[in-house]
Structure 1
């Protein structure tokens, strides 16, 4: 995952949407390293590597993530077609577009 993508996530983060949330999103990128996002009551931390106990783990390419974040790819159809694999609390994955609204 490029630093530009990480910066974009940080900029797009909506603290109000994350109010009261305490969750860890683990990303396993098929074309980049592993990163995880720690959402803690309106704050966002982005870290490289593996978290011991993520709320949800997502496996996908960085391109697929970009598409989902931009709205060009429907997250549910990415899941159905195998572009996105999720384990753990998969319902949390549906919160990503709310936490990182576009434009």
Structure 2
């Protein structure tokens, strides 16, 4: 399982400097392991490990994130099972497939 530093590096390689089309800020909160902040309002997009307020915050374990990334579980299932919590604008969470695709 990835740690927050390697995951941040993957986000930066896959997303930073590109336009995801999100038009919003998103925080991935990994339950005490750290967070990743994606500024999809800036063009090109930027990624950091800053713990800032976002338009949409996704809270989950690193394990759940890895399962979602690998396709083992989808976001809807993780949400319904209580493994993924979404706060803020839910419509932004629905647009995150392009972000997941950019991570490979």
1:44 corresponds in structure 2 to 45
2:69 corresponds in structure 1 to 69
- Equivalent positions of 1:76-91 (< 5 A) are 76-91=76-91
TM-score, normalized by length of structure 2? Answer: 0.77
1:29 corresponds in structure 2 to 30
Q: Distance in 2 between matches of 1:71 and 1:42?
A: 28
Aligned residues: 100
Q: Distance in 1 between matches of 2:85 and 2:60?
A: 7
Give the 3-state SS of the residue equivalent to 2:69 in structure 1: helix
Give the 3-state SS of the residue equivalent to 2:96 in structure 1: helix
Change (3 A) 1:12 1:72: farther
2:6 corresponds in structure 1 to 4
Q: Which blocks of at least 5 consecutive residues in structure 2 are unaligned?
A: none
TM-score, normalized by length of structure 1? Answer: 0.78
Deviation per CA, 1:7-44: give whole Å up to 9, x if none. Answer: 2222333935x24x321111221140233111135522
RMSD of aligned residue pairs (Cα, Å):
2.2
Change (3 A) 1:97 1:42: farther
Deviation per CA, 1:38-60: give whole Å up to 9, x if none. Answer: 113552222223213x1101110
